[in-house]
């Protein structure tokens, strides 16, 4: 088979694969309940098919038409079967899990399309290096499926941990406000070093030092730091049982999804509080962001309670409400 004819067949297959991906966007009428182990097994078949395709076409020599047609058809069938398994896994584990599977399945199909394009789409013979690189992308995409969450609770857990990590970063950053002054009071050498750094600070430097805060701003900023630390403590109390799977029902996917939505909104509100801690401070905006955070915390607590851990949710929410009141007092003082 000539390279031009092979390129035409490859292009047709690439277009077909792109059109078939749309099936992932159509919710299944009846969830198939396919496990991720089955989806991963189907991906392994695709990996082996991709390897055979690479071995047949990589060296650029003329390939018998019958062999090329059979190889492309087999590879197409393997990808279709994989997408069918992936689609069958959707619909019963929640939107977060479904999004993970859809994204991973698209990556597998797109990497396969790229392999076909590279191996067949050149007027001149493709270089073995290019085809090997494309094959490696297929293997990586298929291998990534093994790292996907096995169910809805695990998918939500990963997303919750990402939000908790952001809130922890906010708390760690705010904890540094005022720390420099305390350390400097204990060591004159540190004061001298801080003075030298301040003297060379560029006028466009967007970072803040303790000298940028007046007494009232420093007091409010430290209160924001305590609030951020309480925010992380709140998330740790609610997220840990979900991650461990203790006290939370695996069947309460809707409640867990609601908890995740509230958690993401909570994270953003805490980030706004963190940003508002720096001068010039806007007391009204800071108070509004704190109210938004506590409202989202209450919503997340209710969702986690519905998922099965009502006692932990109530305790964590009550503790966070106290932290909110403390911050409000500092802002209004």
pLDDT tier for residue 29 given thresholds of 50, 70 and 90? confident
pLDDT > 90 in the chain, percent: 61
CA separation for the pair 50, 311 (Å, rounded): 52
Tell which wins on pLDDT, 188 or 94. Answer: 94
pLDDT tier for residue 205 given thresholds of 50, 70 and 90? very low
Taking 90 as the threshold, does the pLDDT of residue 62 lie above it?
no
What mean pLDDT is predicted for residues 307-325? 90
Distances in whole angstroms, Cα of residue 128 to Cα of each of 135, 137, 230, 310 = 10, 14, 56, 59
> What would the pLDDT profile of 255-278 be if each residue is shown by its tens digit?
899 999 999 999 999 999 999 999
Q: What share of the chain is helix, strand, coil (3-state, %, to 5)?
A: 80, 0, 20
How buried is 66 (Cβ within 10 angstroms: 0-12 exposed, 13-18 middle, 19+ buried)? exposed
Structure-token match 């939370």, residue found: 248
Taking 50 as the threshold, does the pLDDT of residue 202 lie above it?
no
Taking 50 as the threshold, does the pLDDT of residue 3 lie above it?
yes
Sign for the CA dihedral angle at 295, 298, 303, 306 comes to negative
What mean pLDDT is predicted for residues 238-258? 78
Structure tokens at 297: 């915390």
- Alpha helix positions (H), 145-252: 152-175, 179-186, 188-199, 215-244
Taking 80 as the threshold, does the pLDDT of residue 251 lie above it?
no
CA separation for the pair 244, 12 (Å, rounded): 47
Tell which wins on pLDDT, 245 or 235. Answer: 235
> What would the pLDDT profile of 113-150 be if each residue is shown by its tens digit?
999 999 887 545 567 888 999 999 999 999 999 999 98
> What would the pLDDT profile of 142-184 be if each residue is shown by its tens digit?
999 999 998 899 999 999 999 999 999 999 999 999 876 554 5
Domains defined along the chain, listed by start: 3-147 (1.20.1420.10), 152-178+209-332 (1.20.1410.10)
């Amino acid at each position: 088979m000539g390279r031009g004819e092979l390129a035409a067949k490859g292009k047709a297959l690439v277009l077909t694969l792109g059109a078939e991906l749309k099936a992932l966007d159509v919710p299944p009428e009846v969830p198939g309940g396919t496990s991720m182990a089955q989806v991963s097994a189907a991906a392994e078949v695709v990996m082996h098919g991709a390897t055979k395709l690479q071995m047949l076409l990589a060296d650029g020599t003329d390939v018998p038409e019958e062999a090329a047609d059979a190889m492309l058809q087999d590879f197409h069938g393997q990808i279709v079967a994989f997408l069918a398994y992936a689609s069958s896994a959707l619909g019963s584990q929640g939107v977060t899990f479904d999004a993970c599977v859809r994204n991973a399945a698209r990556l597998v199909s797109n990497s396969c399309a790229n392999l076909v394009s590279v191996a067949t789409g050149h007027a001149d013979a493709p270089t073995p290096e290019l085809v090997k690189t494309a094959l490696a992308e297929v293997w990586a995409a298929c291998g990534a499926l093994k790292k996907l969450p096995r169910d809805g609770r695990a998918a939500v857990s990963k997303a919750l941990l990402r939000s908790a990590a952001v809130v922890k970063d906010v708390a760690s950053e705010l904890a540094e406000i005022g720390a420099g002054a305390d350390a400097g009071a204990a060591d004159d050498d540190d004061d001298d070093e801080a003075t030298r750094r301040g003297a060379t600070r560029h006028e466009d430097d967007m970072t803040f030092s303790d000298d940028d805060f007046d007494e009232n701003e420093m007091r409010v900023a430290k209160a924001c730091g305590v609030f951020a630390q309480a925010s992380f403590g709140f998330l740790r109390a609610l997220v840990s049982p979900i991650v461990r799977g203790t006290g939370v029902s695996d069947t309460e996917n809707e409640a867990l999804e609601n908890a995740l939505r509230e958690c993401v909104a909570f994270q953003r509100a805490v980030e706004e509080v963190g940003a508002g801690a720096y001068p010039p401070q806007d007391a009204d905006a800071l108070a509004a962001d704190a109210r938004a955070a506590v409202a989202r915390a209450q919503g997340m607590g209710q969702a986690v309670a519905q998922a099965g851990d009502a006692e932990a949710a109530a305790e964590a929410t009550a503790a966070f409400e106290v932290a909110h009141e403390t911050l409000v007092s500092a802002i209004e003082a």
